[in-house]
Amino acid sequence: MRLSKRDRQKQLQAALEREPFLTDEEMAGRFGVSIQTIRLDRMELGIPELRERIKHMAERNVRSLHPEEVIGEVTELRLDQGGQSVLTILEEHVFARTRIARGHHLFAQANSLAVAVVDSEVVLTATASIRFVRPVHLGEQCIAKAVVVKETPHRTQVDVQTRVGDETVFQGVFDVYRSKEDQYAHRF
């Protein structure tokens, strides 16, 4: 039995509060309506599209960095668990002659994601063990996935793997130092 528009919108709003990363397609499947109906419901309720919800969530929840300091676009974030970011390699990221991405951009994407997933005001990279697996070319989309694998009182180990399609292009293990909010405030 189909829900009334009012009931569907109530349930839609509740579902997005529980699971903010649901796509319009997933919601359409859950409610047995078209994607366009979901989009209209979201518009009526003032709920932004997925990309805007992710951006807003990252702005609210990333404590260690300003959102503009994260290299790439954060598409998933679970503090102290893991996250994901996407970086499309553009002209400014590549060597002019070879059209291959400069390594520091891949490192920056992975490192900033590793820092962003840690729920602390001050997060600094202590050590990083990295490996570039293959060159990345102009136009390729790099998807970095971070997973928190170990925590001690002041350190967090974050593994990051960056892929282009099904192929791993970068791997890194980041040991990041985290501190209490105001411990370093007087030094800067």
8 Å CB contact between 116 and 77: yes
Q: How much is the pTM?
A: 0.68
Q: 4: how many CB neighbours lie within 10 A of its CB? A: 8
- What's the pLDDT at 69? 75
Q: Which of 24, 85, 71, 29 is nearest to 50 (CA)?
A: 24
Q: Which domains does the chain have, with CATH numbers?
A: 5-47 (1.10.10.10), 61-187 (3.10.129.10)
**Angle of the 5-18 helix axis to the 24-31 helix axis, nearest 10:** 130
The predicted-structure confidence for 69-98, as pLDDT tens digits, reads as follows 778 988 888 889 999 999 999 999 999 999
Report the percentage of the chain scoring pLDDT > 90: 58
8 Å CB contact between 159 and 151: no
Mean pLDDT of 10-22: 82
Q: 134: how many CB neighbours lie within 10 A of its CB? A: 11
- What's the pLDDT at 56? 64
8 Å CB contact between 132 and 103: yes
- What's the pLDDT at 186? 40
Report residue 183's pLDDT band, with 50, 70 and 90 as the boundaries: very low
3-state secondary structure 65-125: CCHHHCCCEEEEEECCCEEEEEEECCHHHECCCCCEECHHHHHHHHHHHHHHCCCCCEEEE
Q: How many residues does the chain have?
A: 188
